[in-house]
Structure 1
Amino acid sequence: MAKYNIATIYGDGIGPEVARSSVRVLKNALGSDALHFEELPGGAEHYVDSGEVLPEDTFTACRDMDAILHGAAGLPGVTYEDGTEVGNDLHLLLRFKLDLYANMRPVKLLKGVTSPLAAFRDGGAIDYIIVRENTEGLYASRGAGVVLRGEIASDSLIVTRKGTERVARFALNVARKRNGAPRDGVSRLTVCDKANILRSFAFFRGICDEVSTDFPDVEIDYAYADAMTVHLVKKPDFYDVIVAENMFGDIISDLGAVTVGGMGVSPSGEIGDNHALFQGAHGSAPDIAGQDGASPVATILSSALMLDWLGERHDDTNLVEGANRIRNAVNAVLSAGEFIPRDLGGSARCSEMTEAICRALD
C-alpha cells in the first residue's frame, strides 16, 4: 500500500481541534499506514511568538510533501502595520508560492441539514461547485496597494490570459466529471463576472468562451456577479460549476455556504498543478477555541477532497473510496439527527461529532 506524507498545520483558534478531528477520521477511514501526518508550526500565534507566520521549514515541508491539511489561522488584533490580518498570510503565502491557482468550494445541501431556503430542503437539492481563480484578480494587489498622503488608496485588479485559461480549464474538467445540475442534469459551467461594465471581466469571459470550445459536452452559461447573488438564492438547483475572479468567487462562495447550513459544513481546496492545500472554509473562531464546541464537519469534508485529489493524482482507488466513505459517514450522522453540531442548531461537541463519524465509518 502506498503511503502519503501530509503537511499538517493546525494553526490558531479552533484550527487544532478541527484538524485533529480530521486526522482521526482519515486514519479511521484508511487505516494508520496510508497517511503520515507531519505536524508543522504556523499561524498568527506562531507569528506572535517568533515573528514568522510561515516558517521556512514549514514551507519547505509543504512544498515537498504530498498534500497540505490546514485547520485555521488568525487571531483578533494580530495585524501588520497596514492593518491587514497576519493569519491570512499563512495560506496566502502558500497559495502564491505553490501556485495554488484554483480554489474549489463545493456547495452541497447534506441530508439532515435544513437550508434557510424554504424551497430547497431536501439533501442534494443544492449541489454545485464554485471554482475561484486564486492568484489573480483583486487579491493580486495584496501588499502592493498604494495609499497617497492619507487621501487616496488604490488596488489593481489583474486578469491574465494564462491565469484565466487554466482556471477555466480546471472548472470545465470539474464539470465534465460531475453528474450535472440537480434541476436538469445538464453539465454546465457558469461564468460569473461584470463583463457589462469592466474590460478586465469582458476579457475574463472571452477567454472562458475560448477554452469552452474544447469541452462541447459542457454547456456554457453567464451571470453578472450582482445577479448571481439573487440566482443562488432563487434557483440554486440550476447551477453545476461556477467559475469566477478571485474577489467575486470569495463573496459568492460564502453566500452559497449559508444556503446549505453555513461555513461549518463548507469544505475547500486550493489546488495547483503540483500542490494542494485543504481546509474548512470557516475562520479560526477564537471566541469558542478550546471549548470543544466547534464543528469539525467542514474540515473533515475538506480532508475527503484531499483524498479525491491525491487519489486522482496517484491513480489510487483506495484513497477515492476512502473519500466517499467519509462523505457517506458524515451524511449518515447528520441525517440520523442524534448528533448535530451547535452551528446547525444542535448540541453535539466537536469530539462527539468526531466519534459519531468514526462509528459510522466502522
Structure 2
Amino acid sequence: MRNYNIALLPGDGVGPEVIAQAKRVLDAVQDVINGYELDFQEYYVGNKRFLELGEVIPESTYEDCKKADAILMGAIGMPHGGMKPVTDKNGTEVTGHLMFKIRFGLGLYAGVRPIKSYPNCKSALCGTNRKIDLVIFRESVEGLFASYGGGGVVRDLCAYDTQIITREGTEKAAKYCFEMALDRPGRVADGKKLVTCTHKGNVFRSFAFMKKVFYEVAEQYKGRVEADDKMIDALTLLMTQNPEQFDIILAENAHGDIISDLAASYIGGMGMAPSGDIGDDHAMFQPSHGTAPTIAGMNIVNPTATILSGKMMLEWLGKRYNDVALKKGAELIDKAVYNTFDKGIRTGDVGGNASTSVFGDTVVNEIYKLGKEL
C-alpha cells in the first residue's frame, strides 16, 4: 500500500469549511477503495495568519509543501466579512505572497480549470441541464503575471508591468493541452478533440509569438488533435454563445484568469469550479473561488469545487504514480457528486437549499453506496 503525503491548507473565510467536506469525501473513498492511504498534514496559512504573525506562509510550511506528494488548499484572502483587503506596503494584496511563491517556486505552470455541468444545477447563462464539458488552461507562471513583484511606479506619474511569454513556457503549456486532449472525449458538440489558443496577436508581438509557437507544437499532434486560435475578445463571445463548441482553451495567465471565471457562470458559478496548478513534479489543487468572508461560518457555502479539486488531485497522483486505485477513487467522487445533484441536493448558490454539511453528507453516502457495487 502506497502512502501519499498531502499538505492541507484550509486558509481563510470559507476555506476551512470546504476543505472539511473535501477531506470527508477523500476519507470515505479511502474506506471504499483499498490500496492507498492519504496522510494529511494541516498547515496554518493565509491572510489571517498575516494579520496575526506578519507572514502568509512560513518558510518551513513552504518546504513541507515542496516535499509533499500534493497540496490541497481551501482559499486564502479576506479572512472576515466587512474587512478591507489585506495589503502589503506596495498596496497589493498579500494573498499573492503564498500563491505566487508556490506557483513560481514549484514550477506550477499548468493552471487546469475544468468547466463541467451537473444535473439540476442552475446556471445564469446556460439554464439548467445543458451538457457542458470543456477545460480552460491558464498558463500560470508567465504572461502578465510574470511581473508580480516587479513593475514599478515612476514619480507617482505612471506605472508599468511587463508581459513575458517564452518559447519554453508556451511549448510546455501547449504540449500539456494536446496531451490532455488525447485523454478527453472531445468537445460536446461532436466529439472532436480540439485545442484552441486564445490571444491578442493582431496587436501584441508577444501574443503573435505565442500563437506561432502553439502551431509549431500542434504539428506534432496532427491527425490526432485539431488546433485553432481565436482572439480573446471574439472568444468570450463565441464561448458564451456556444460553449459546446470548445474542448480545451489555452490562454495567457491574465486572460485565463478572466475567462475561467466567466466560464464558471455556465455551470452555476464559482462554487462549481475546481482547479489544479500543476507542474512536472508538484501540484496544488483548490477551488477557483475566493474566501467569501461574508458567509464564512454560516454552513451555506458550496463545497463542490473543493470536492472536485480533491478528485483532480487523485487523478493527477494516479497518473503520476500509475496508481489504479487512485484513478478509481477519482471516478467514484465524480459519480457521487453527479448522483447528489441528480437527486436535487444542492446549495443555495445553484438553486437549492442544502447546507454545506448536508451536501457533503450526501456525497459521502453516495460514495459508500457506490462502493458496495464495486
Q: Same fold (TM over 0.5)?
A: yes
Contact in 1 for aligned 2:77/2:85 (Cα 8 Å): no
Q: What CA distance in whole angstroms lies between the structure 1 residues aligned with 2:144 and 2:301?
A: 31
Partner in structure 1 of residue 112 of structure 2? 104
The amino acid across from 2:246 in the alignment is: Y
Q: What CA distance in whole angstroms lies between the structure 1 residues aligned with 2:334 and 2:312?
A: 10
Equivalent residue in structure 2 for 1:89, among 71, 91, 97: 97
The aligned runs of 1:172-191 (5 Å cut-off) are 172-191=178-197
Q: What CA distance in whole angstroms lies between the structure 1 residues aligned with 2:85 and 2:260?
A: 26
Q: What CA distance in whole angstroms lies between the structure 1 residues aligned with 2:113 and 2:172?
A: 17
Q: State the 1:66 CA deviation.
A: 0.3
Q: State the 1:41 CA deviation.
A: 1.6
Q: How big is each residue's C-alpha offset from its partner over 1:51-80, in whole Å with a ceiling of 9 and x where there is no partner? A: 111111110110001000000001143111
Q: What CA distance in whole angstroms lies between the structure 2 residues aligned with 1:343 and 1:82?
A: 35
Partner in structure 1 of residue 371 of structure 2? none
The amino acid across from 1:266 in the alignment is: A
Contact in 2 for aligned 1:73/1:88 (Cα 8 Å): no
User: Is residue 157 of structure 1 aligned with residue 163 of structure 2?
Assistant: yes
User: Which deviates more from structure 2 when the two are superposed, residues 88-97 or residues 176-185?
Assistant: 88-97
The aligned runs of 1:80-229 (5 Å cut-off) are 80-118=88-126, 121-123=128-130, 125-216=131-222, 217-229=224-236
Q: 1:230 to 1:299 in 2, by over 3 A?
A: same
| Aligned partner of residue 221 in structure 2, secondary structure | coil
The amino acid across from 2:231 in the alignment is: Y
State the identity as a percent: 43
The amino acid across from 2:42 in the alignment is: E
Equivalent residue in structure 2 for 1:285, among 280, 283, 292: 292
The amino acid across from 1:131 in the alignment is: F
Q: How big is each residue's C-alpha offset from its partner over 1:248-299, in whole Å with a ceiling of 9 and x where there is no partner? A: 1111101100111000000000000000000000001111111111111000
Contact in 1 for aligned 2:125/2:266 (Cα 8 Å): yes
User: Which deviates more from structure 2 when the two are superposed, residues 139-148 or residues 308-317?
Assistant: 139-148
| Aligned partner of residue 84 in structure 1, secondary structure | coil
Q: What CA distance in whole angstroms lies between the structure 2 residues aligned with 1:198 and 1:106?
A: 28
User: Which deviates more from structure 2 when the two are superposed, residues 27-36 or residues 238-247?
Assistant: 27-36
Q: State the 1:238 CA deviation.
A: 0.5
Alignment size in residue pairs: 359
Q: What CA distance in whole angstroms lies between the structure 2 residues aligned with 1:116 and 1:17?
A: 25
Q: State the 1:81 CA deviation.
A: 1.7
Q: What CA distance in whole angstroms lies between the structure 2 residues aligned with 1:146 and 1:91?
A: 21
User: Is residue 336 of structure 1 aligned with residue 336 of structure 2?
Assistant: no
Partner in structure 1 of residue 76 of structure 2? 73
TM-score by length of 1: 0.97
Which runs of 5 or more residues in structure 2 are unaligned?
79-83, 369-374
Partner in structure 1 of residue 301 of structure 2? 294
Q: What CA distance in whole angstroms lies between the structure 2 residues aligned with 1:353 and 1:88?
A: 31
Q: What CA distance in whole angstroms lies between the structure 2 residues aligned with 1:351 and 1:104?
A: 27
Q: State the 1:117 CA deviation.
A: 3.5
The amino acid across from 1:302 in the alignment is: S
The amino acid across from 1:7 in the alignment is: A
The amino acid across from 1:335 in the alignment is: D
Which runs of 5 or more residues in structure 1 are unaligned?
none
The amino acid across from 1:79 in the alignment is: T
Equivalent residue in structure 2 for 1:312, among 277, 301, 319: 319
Partner in structure 1 of residue 372 of structure 2? none
Runs of 4+ that moved beyond 4 A:
none
Equivalent residue in structure 2 for 1:44, among 44, 47, 57: 47
Contact in 1 for aligned 2:122/2:351 (Cα 8 Å): no
| Aligned partner of residue 165 in structure 1, secondary structure | helix
Q: State the 1:150 CA deviation.
A: 0.9
